[in-house]
Amino acid sequence: MELTQRQRIIFKKVVERFTYCAEPVGSKVLMELLDFPVSSATIRNEMATLEKLGLLEKTHTSSGRIPSKFGYRYYVENLMETSLEAPIKASLQSVFSQRHYSLDEIVEKSCSILSEMTNLTSIVLGPDSTHQVLVNIQLIPINAKSAVAIFVTDSGHTESKTFHFDEAVSLEDLRNCTSLMNDHLVGVPISDILDKMQEIKSLMAAKLVRHEVLFEAFTEAFMKFASEKVVVSGQSNMLYQPEFSDIDKLKRLMRILENSHLFKEWAQQGSNQAIPIGTRNELIQIGDCSVITAKFHYNDLEEGQLMVVGPNRMQYSKVIALMDYMSDVIEGVFGVHEEGDASDEQKE
């Protein structure tokens, strides 16, 4: 679809104005926004043309127009300019460089930051470890009632869990438990670990004094390891979006956002429109909602995903720029970027 330069500018202004104020945009407002002289009548004619092309829609309650779903897609693919202010970049770098974060902490922190900075709902998916194979277990004592367990998989993924025991566990029990676990669990897929734990329960009872305490601790740790890492933040932000003033619609969306299985079904419907944005991002249109996704890597084999969910009327350039930069920062935390591999924005 070829638009004239004037049509492109007018359409871009309509999208940016509407995403900001949620009010239909009329010719008089556009006259004030445009940086070149043009009459109100000419603007109305151009808007009528854009409507015929399917980029704009006319509402029943106003003479102004709003972007259509197709219009948002056209904007993202052809007109959007992404940029992130230097103070925001510095703030993100500072947050993630303050200390060493675990995988779970990175997922939770990223989710919280995204929802706060976009005023939308954010979802962060950690890597799926269920298809990985356990290659090593270490159990490091802290004191008589606590220890740190470290699990390593064939993908290079490392996960740690601090155990706090109700009763003292001897160093001998910890050494014997580590040996037993490595003898019987190494080489087992994460998805099968819990079943395998039941099989070695009797061995633990025969070799360990505090076998019940250690069995319970490891079972809980493996359940967490094998579970899907999904964090959702900012659901209440939807309350302030005029598109979700219908309480029944809002309740349905909340149920979807709070259930990972429902969310996957919702996001993978055949009627959805998915538009790739570069190599990392994707826009998925689902009815009157949009989902922006951004992939990031923990290592060469594992990837996670940032998601922002909101109405089709969202500030795409800001959201996408933020997610893209955050993905780079997270990869930097895990040392994924080789020297010279960071984005141009990070080099600035």
Domains of the chain plus CATH, in order, are 5-79 (1.10.10.10), 86-128+229-347 (3.30.450.40), 134-226 (3.30.390.60)
pTM for this predicted structure = 0.74
pLDDT over 90 at 224, yes or no: no
Task: Mark 208-238 as b/e (b = at least 16 C-beta within 10 Å).
Answer: bebbebbbebbeebbeebbeebbbbbbbebb
Crossing angle of helices 171-185 and 211-226, in 10° steps, is 50
- pLDDT tens digits for range 95-121: 887 767 777 788 888 899 999 999 999
Q: What is the pLDDT of residue 227?
A: 65
Residue among 337, 320, 341, 331 nearest 296 (CA) = 331
Report the percent of the chain where pLDDT is more than 90: 51
CA distance 254 to 247: 10
pLDDT over 50 at 339, yes or no: no
